[in-house]
Every structure is written in structure tokens, then in C-alpha cells.
């Protein structure tokens, strides 16, 4: 299994162990479902070729019973089984990696402050707005999920970016032995193109202490990562039971 999938397994296994999560083991421990209780924070991790319809039926029943949306990054061939079950191709994530030291990342605009975030409500509000635009009502289950993440300090660190005394960006990093994984990298729409995302990525480079950085880029963030110096490794097709994923 390559480094990106190893890190994704590490991340979703941590999600599986959160107290808010419900889980289903798939086909004799070949993979698992994790439901955190809130839409699009629930995953299928199945690093095998899908060669039976039964595993797909098990996944759909699990999430239907929990009345939750989910994403299924496809590791190997199996599109026909997912499409037969009515799942929707939602687009591709792009697996990318970066070697700290290949780019100059020292210093940034002093107005942009990057710091650990220990307030789960602030992180939840900021990341929600970063991905969804203006804040409507944030589900209480999402606050509970972020609180559980924030308490899982052994493997995760949550960070917030401040600009002119406003919370404008977020990211989460996983602490692997040889890798740093990046998740929930988001900037509020009205603060984009002000150096916030670059300042956050420079901070990630500092925090990685020379370890390789990996992430799965959404289409909206792909150009930023390329311009920063990330190398594209491969595409990851993503399926869901909903249409609006990215």
C-alpha cells in the first residue's frame, strides 16, 4: 500500500476510534465503514479490489441504518459494483506529496498568525465556513465530532489561522512516524488570495520537521498545492450516496 493510502488508513482508523463513531468491519477485516454522525465526515476504507456485490450492500445498509451520507474513495477497480448499487461518482481527489526543503517556506505576512486551536467550537465554525461559505446553522453533531477530534491529541493537532483578529483558516495534521498528513485545510472565501493558505502551508512544513507531507486535494485546492510545489501522485475516484461532495 502506498504512502497516501497508508496515511488515509491512519486517519480514518483514528476516526473509527473516536467515541462519537459507529463502525462496521467489512469482509473479514479487509476494510471498514466509519460513521461519525455527521454528513461527509463518514468514510468507507476498503483497500481491496471490489469483486463482490455483497460488500457494497453491507456498506449501504450500514449507512442507511444510521441515516448518514458518506464518501467512498476507491482504491482499486470496482466502479461497476458501486454504480449498480446506485452510488454516485462525485469526482476525483488528487493524491499529492511534498518534500520539505524543496521549496522556500520561511516567514510569512506577520499579520497572519497560525496557532494551535484548543477550542473545538472555533475550529468547527471556521472549517465549516471555509468549506461551505457563509455560516448557516451548524449541526450539533458536527460540533461533537470536532470536539472528539480535538480530544484525540495523541495523533491529531488542530490549527487555526488568524488575520486582523479574525479566524480565517484551518488545518489538521496527523503525526505519523515518517509522514505528516494534512486534512481540513480550508480558508474562508473572502480571505483567499491574501496569503493565508500559503502561511498555513509554510507552518505545516515547519511542523513536519523534515517528514514528507501527503494530502488528498479536492479540485478547488489543486492549483494551490501545485503552485506550492506538491507533486501529483495519482487520482482517487470518490463515490457517495449524495451528489454535493466537493
Average pLDDT, the chain: 89
Q: What is the average pLDDT across 125-142? A: 85
pLDDT digits (tens, 9 = 90+) for 92-116: 999 999 988 765 555 556 789 999 9
pLDDT digits (tens, 9 = 90+) for 213-241: 999 999 989 999 999 999 999 999 999 98
Q: How confident is the model at residue 168 (pLDDT cuts 50, 70, 90)?
A: very high
Phi, psi angles (nearest 5°) of residue 35: -115, 115
The pLDDT-based confidence of 246 (bands split at 50, 70, 90) is low
Helices (H), the chain: 3-16, 53-65, 79-84, 120-132, 140-151, 196-208, 222-228
Q: Identify the CA nearest to 241 among candidates 69, 59, 32.
A: 69
Which of 170, 169, 175, 183 shows the shortest CA–CA distance to 156? Answer: 175
Distances (CA, A) of 19 to 76, 198, 240: 30, 33, 24
Q: How far apart are CA 87 and CA 216, in angstroms?
A: 21
pLDDT single digits (tens) 65-82: 877 889 999 998 889 999
pLDDT for 107: 55
Amino acid at each position: 500500500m502506498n504512502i497516501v493510502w497508508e496515511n488515509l488508513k491512519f486517519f480514518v482508523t483514528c476516526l473509527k476510534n473516536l467515541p462519537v463513531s459507529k463502525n462496521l468491519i467489512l469482509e473479514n477485516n479487509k476494510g471498514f465503514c466509519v460513521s461519525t454522525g455527521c454528513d461527509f465526515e463518514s468514510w468507507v476504507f476498503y483497500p481491496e479490489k471490489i469483486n463482490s456485490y455483497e460488500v457494497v450492500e453491507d456498506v449501504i445498509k450500514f449507512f442507511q441504518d444510521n441515516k448518514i451520507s458518506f464518501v467512498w474513495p476507491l482504491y482499486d477497480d470496482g466502479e461497476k459494483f458501486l454504480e449498480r448499487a446506485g452510488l454516485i461518482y462525485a469526482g476525483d481527489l488528487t493524491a499529492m506529496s511534498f518534500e520539505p526543503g524543496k521549496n522556500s517556506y520561511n516567514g510569512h505576512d506577520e499579520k497572519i498568525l497560525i496557532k494551535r486551536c484548543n477550542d473545538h467550537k472555533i475550529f468547527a465554525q471556521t472549517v465549516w465556513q471555509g468549506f461551505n461559505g457563509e455560516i448557516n446553522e451548524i449541526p450539533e453533531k458536527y460540533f461533537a465530532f470536532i470536539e472528539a477530534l480535538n480530544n484525540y491529541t495523541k495523533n491529531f493537532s488542530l490549527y487555526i489561522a488568524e488575520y486582523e483578529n479574525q479566524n480565517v483558516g484551518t488545518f489538521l495534521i496527523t503525526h505519523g512516524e515518517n509522514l505528516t498528513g494534512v486534512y481540513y485545510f480550508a480558508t474562508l472565501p473572502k480571505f483567499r488570495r491574501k496569503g493565508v493558505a500559503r502561511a498555513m502551508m509554510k507552518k505545516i512544513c515547519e511542523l513536519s520537521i523534515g517528514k514528507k507531507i501527503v494530502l488528498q486535494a479536492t479540485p478547488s485546492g489543486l492549483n494551490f498545492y501545485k503552485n506550492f510545489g506538491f507533486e501529483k501522485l495519482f487520482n482517487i475516484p470518490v463515490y457517495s450516496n449524495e451528489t454535493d461532495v466537493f
